[in-house]
Amino acid sequence: METLIFGTGGMGRAIAAAVAERGWPAPHLRGRPATGRHEPATLPVVDVVFDASRGSAVKDNVAAALAAGNRRFVVATTAWEADRDDVAALLVEHGAAAVAAPNFSLGVALFARLVEAAARLFGPLAAYDPFVLEWHRRTKTDRPSGTAKELARRILAVHPRKRRLVEPDRNGAPAPDELEVAVIRAGASPGMHVVGFDAPGETVELRLTARDRSAYAAGALAAAEWLLGEPRSPGLHGFDPIVDALVAGGSVSIPKATASVLTEVRR
């Protein structure tokens, strides 16, 4: 499988390492261009394009790769929500498909489903107040993380009393219908998320801690294989269909790191 990776930071390097582990040809790596934008004429036509750059670059990267002739994308970065509709329109216009997710870890995807189930269970119990806490490396710029936003979205969708997030930088206690999302930016942590339900006599917590980016890269490769498995409708696709196929033991080829996670899940 020929691949192009936008972004030479931690996530881009993790995807490149996963590609090498699979025995695929060495990826074409593209860092941030001096001009600020990639020229289509300088980009190869490949089986799948991975974007692991930064949120503000996603729209321009996709546009350049489309102009070069590419038609399959895995968007593995966050903080590009403002351009999401424009990116989707570009993909449809060119008959191209992309899988996009705030986090491509299978563990995170299943964790989010556990969080949603927990919010349904604890929601009717007024004593249990939900919260989200996330900790990432000091240099991570978006806050909250895309994963924390997704966890909060799932809680708000099913919780009977929570309707909105606490307004950032506002003093005072949150309103009863507000969900608190706390952010830590310190050190070198690749990612930790805690969802809790706190009551006067006890606290119940669900926690997921990443040790490195290998799980994210494994999921991104699984998304790429899903795109190649059969023709996909133009536009943006979520990660859930890939997760469903992996958990069901479907036809998506599973990278080694993901396969080991699935083995543990099924036990």
Query: Residues 207-230: pLDDT tens digits?
Result: 999 999 999 999 999 999 999 999
56-64 contacts, C-beta under 8 A, 24 or more apart? 56/80, 57/6, 57/32, 58/83, 58/87, 59/83, 59/86, 59/87, 59/90, 60/36, 61/6, 62/87, 62/90, 62/91, 62/98, 63/90, 64/37, 64/38, 64/39, 64/40
pLDDT value, residue 34: 87
CA dihedral angle for residue 200, residue 201, residue 204, residue 209, rounded to 10 degrees: 80
Residue 263 has pLDDT above 70, yes or no: no
Section 3-11 average pLDDT? 96
Residue 136 bears catalytic tag: yes
Six token digits for residue 58: 């996603």
Residue 258 has pLDDT above 90, yes or no: no
Whole-prediction pTM:
0.83
Residue 59 bears catalytic tag: no
192: DSSP letter: E
Six token digits for residue 244: 């469903």
The percent of residues above 70 in pLDDT, for the chain, comes to: 93
HSE-up of residue 254 (Cα within 13 Å, Cβ side): 20
User: Does residue 27 have a cis bond before it (omega within 30 degrees)?
Assistant: no
Start and end residues for every CATH 3.40.50.720 domain found in the chain: 3-104+213-266
Instruction: Give the lowest-confidence range in 26-35, 125-134, 177-186, 244-253.
Output: 244-253
74-83 confidence digits (pLDDT tens): 999 989 999 9
Residue 72, classed as helix, strand or coil, is strand
161-168 contacts, C-beta under 8 A, 24 or more apart? 161/123, 161/126, 162/130
Active-site pick, 38, 136, 159, 162: 136
| Rounded Cα gap, residues 169 and 246, in angstroms | 40
Start and end residues for every CATH 3.30.360.10 domain found in the chain: 106-209
Active-site pick, 38, 140, 149, 193: 140
Residue listed under structure tokens 């309707």: 163
Residue 253 has pLDDT above 90, yes or no: no
Q: Which CATH number fits domain 106-209: 3.30.450.20, 3.40.190.10, 3.30.360.10, 3.90.45.10?
A: 3.30.360.10
Q: How far is the CA of 250 from the CAs of 195, 214, 219, 222, 236, in angstroms?
A: 30, 22, 15, 12, 21
Q: Which CATH number fits domain 3-104+213-266: 3.30.420.40, 3.30.70.270, 3.40.50.720, 1.20.1250.20?
A: 3.40.50.720
Which residues in 121-133 are b (16+ Cβ under 10 Å) and which e?
ebbeeeebbbbbb
pLDDT value, residue 152: 98
Residue 189 has pLDDT above 50, yes or no: yes
φ/ψ (deg, to 5) at 107: -60, -40
Residue 264 has pLDDT above 90, yes or no: no
Residue 267 has pLDDT above 80, yes or no: no
